[in-house]
Amino acid sequence: MHAAAALESARKTLSRKHWAWAHKLLGDIALLEDRPLDARHEYEQALAILQHHACPIIEWKILLAAAEAARRLSDSASADELRAHARHVVRSLAESITETPLRERFLAAKPISDI
């Protein structure tokens, strides 16, 4: 209910980042409820929004969630492709960090190193 309300609020304000994130949350809920097809649809919606309004800080997280939905649907080719795209986004983010210690901390963070 709260994720749907967040989606509606983001639509009204045209906040693309929040709009995409609300779709991700709905996808996460669908995965938790064992509805991977619905999850895939929500993640695709989120990624479509980010295609024209880039936000790499959340894009890599959505890509990983979409990879998990693909894996649960036994679509290993899509899962591998989505994970590779997430790695590319993370590498681009890391390259944008000019301070070496900060970049190293970013790359060493568990969510990043798990990719």
Question: Under a CB-based contact definition with an 8 Å cutoff, are residues 85 and 79 in contact?
Answer: no
CATH 1.20.58.760 fits 2-113, yes or no: no
For residues 56 and 93, the answer to whether their CB atoms sit within 8 Å is yes
H helices of 14-108, in order, are 16-32, 36-52, 56-72, 76-95, 100-108
pTM summary value: 0.86
Token pair recorded at residue 41: 């649809």
What is the pLDDT averaged over residues 75-86? 97
pLDDT for 4 beyond 80: no
pLDDT surpassing 70 at residue 17: yes
d(CA 28, CA 35): 10
Ordered by start, the domain boundaries in the chain are 2-113
20, pLDDT greater than 70:
yes
d(CA 50, CA 21): 10
